[in-house]
């Protein structure tokens, strides 16, 4: 951090590095950096030795402005390399390998002064002779459904320059193989070449739970890459996919009755006219009755076909039933007075219709 403080006595500006010591403890490492105001800072491993170096620009007391690169010499020592850069304030700066030669170059923009103020926007090419190589692709990929989404995980990987703890990870997810239309990786889908000079979207995570990825019938194709401290991306790990089972969403079953008082629906798993499925435990089954020909809905009676002792009587329409076990169900609804008929679950020409019921089921998270 850098900028203007407001203590009772000087110095009024400061630039500090706070080391994250975990558990919300941050410790000033006393890096001895030039104090700046109206400034900007950016980390990047310009010398490809695997540690993050620091560039900074700003005012050291207007109208004196500097732009500096501090090389990270480990153990909290940062050395000003006296790079010959235009000093600017009210500025912005950023690392990126614009010429694709595997070292980080620098872009700066801001205001400089030579008796009057001028704007500057410059790209500085890094002419060093130590070059970065990309990390190895992560392995150990896995995805499991969790709540209303998927949790993706992978194993840490390695890099020839950046220590494993300094690597970040970048996830992509698509609805077909080789795409990232669900969650963009902002990297070439074939090679992993990074289109943005940035750490990976998963940062240092080795697993990431993303909500909203639970569409029945959808298959999600995904991969992950590692990004090193010079912002180079590895190739993509071998693509994985996770498929949610397709669920039939609606069945409209016409009820026929001889005496137009009651209707029945009977899901027979052996009946080729109806999907031969069992409703799995946890499924929410919604039954909607649509009485026909002036009849009035009055009551549901729903059996568990596996256990005739389990049934639901309900006068609400629709009703929702959560399967307490894997079950086949059998339902009747009443739309008038009289006795129950043993009707067939098929639309039969010439039969009198009481109405129809629609079934809808969905997975519960």
Q: Is 96 in the site for Ca ion (CB under 5 A)?
A: no
Q: Is 194 exposed, middle or buried (0-12, 13-18, 19+ CB in 10 A)?
A: buried
Q: Is 105 in the site for Ca ion (CB under 5 A)?
A: yes
Provide the minimum distance between the beta carbon of 70 and Ca ion in the complex, in angstroms, as a whole number: 10
Spatial distance between the Cα atoms of 31 and 19, rounded to a whole number of angstroms: 10
Q: Is 95 in the site for Ca ion (CB under 5 A)?
A: no
User: Which of 49/284 has CB closer to Ca ion?
Assistant: 49
Q: Which range in 53-61, 204-212, 241-249, 356-364 contacts Ca ion by CB under 5 A?
A: 53-61
User: Which of 28/73 has CB closer to Ca ion?
Assistant: 73
- Which residues from 156-215 bind Ca ion, rule CB under 5 A? 159, 161
Question: How is 217-252 classified by DSSP, letter by letter?
Answer: T-EEEEEEEEE-TT-PBPPPPPPEEEEPPP----EE
- 191 φ/ψ sector (left φ>0, alpha ψ -120 to 50, else beta): alpha
- Which residues from 112-151 bind Ca ion, rule CB under 5 A? 126, 132
Provide the minimum distance between the beta carbon of 43 and Ca ion in the complex, in angstroms, as a whole number: 10
Provide the minimum distance between the beta carbon of 214 and Ca ion in the complex, in angstroms, as a whole number: 36
Q: Which range in 38-46, 144-152, 165-173, 273-281 contacts Ca ion by CB under 5 A?
A: 38-46
Say which residues have a Cβ less than 8 Å from residue 56's Cβ, sequence separation at least 6.
2, 15, 33, 34, 36, 39, 40, 41, 42, 67, 68, 70, 93
Spatial distance between the Cα atoms of 247 and 217, rounded to a whole number of angstroms: 7
Q: Is 97 in the site for Ca ion (CB under 5 A)?
A: yes
Contacts by 303-307, CB closer than 8 A, 24 or more apart: 303/329, 303/330, 303/331, 304/328, 304/329, 304/330, 305/266, 305/267, 305/329, 305/330
Q: Which range in 110-118, 226-234, 248-256, 301-309 contacts Ca ion by CB under 5 A?
A: 226-234
Contact predicate 153/145, CB 8 Å: no
Exactly one of 38, 228, 304, 341 binds Ca ion (CB under 5 A); which one?
228
User: Which of 49/214 has CB closer to Ca ion?
Assistant: 49
Q: For the chain, how many residues are written?
A: 365
Spatial distance between the Cα atoms of 332 and 57, rounded to a whole number of angstroms: 77
Q: Is 101 in the site for Ca ion (CB under 5 A)?
A: yes
User: Which of 87/135 has CB closer to Ca ion?
Assistant: 135
Provide the minimum distance between the beta carbon of 52 and Ca ion in the complex, in angstroms, as a whole number: 6
Exactly one of 51, 80, 239, 284 binds Ca ion (CB under 5 A); which one?
51
- Interface residues with Ca ion (CB under 5 A)? 45, 47, 49, 51, 53, 72, 97, 99, 101, 103, 105, 126, 132, 159, 161, 228
């Amino acid at each position: 951090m850098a900028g203007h403080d407001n203590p009772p006595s000087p110095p009024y500006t400061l630039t500090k590095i706070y080391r994250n010591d975990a558990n919300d403890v941050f410790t000033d490492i006393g890096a001895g950096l030039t104090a700046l105001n109206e400034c900007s800072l950016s980390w990047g491993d310009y010398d490809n030795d695997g540690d993050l170096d620091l560039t900074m620009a700003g005012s050291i007391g207007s109208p004196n402005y500097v732009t500096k690169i501090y090389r990270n010499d480990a153990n909290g020592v940062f050395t000003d390399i006296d790079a010959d850069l235009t000093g600017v304030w009210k500025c912005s700066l950023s690392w990126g390998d614009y010429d694709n030669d595997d070292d980080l170059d620098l872009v700066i923009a801001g205001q400089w002064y030579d008796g009057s103020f001028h704007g500057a926007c410059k790209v500085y090419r890094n002419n060093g002779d130590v070059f970065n190589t990309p990390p190895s692709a992560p392995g150990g990929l896995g995805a499991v459904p969790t709540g209303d989404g998927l949790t993706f995980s992978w194993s840490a990987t390695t890099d020839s320059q950046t220590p494993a703890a300094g690597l970040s990870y970048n996830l992509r997810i698509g609805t077909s193989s080789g795409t990232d239309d669900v969650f963009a990786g902002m990297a070439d889908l074939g090679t992993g070449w990074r289109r943005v000079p940035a750490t990976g979207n998963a940062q240092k995570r080795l697993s990431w739970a993303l909500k909203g990825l639970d569409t029945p019938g959808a298959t999600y194709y995904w991969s992950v890459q590692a990004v090193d401290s010079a912002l180079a991306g590895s190739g993509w790990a071998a693509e994985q996919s996770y498929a949610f089972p397709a669920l039939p969403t609606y069945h409209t079953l016409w009820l026929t009755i001889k005496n137009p008082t009651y209707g029945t629906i009977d899901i027979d798993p052996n009946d080729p006219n109806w999907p031969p499925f069992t409703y799995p435990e946890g499924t929410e089954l919604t039954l909607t009755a649509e009485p026909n020909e002036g009849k009035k809905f009055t009551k549901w009676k729903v059996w568990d076909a596996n256990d005739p002792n389990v049934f639901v009587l309900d006068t609400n329409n629709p009703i929702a039933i959560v399967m307490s076990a894997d079950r086949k169900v059998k339902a009747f609804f009443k739309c008038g007075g009289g006795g129950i008929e043993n009707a067939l679950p098929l639309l039969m020409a010439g039969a009198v219709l009481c109405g129809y019921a629609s079934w809808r089921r969905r997975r519960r998270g």
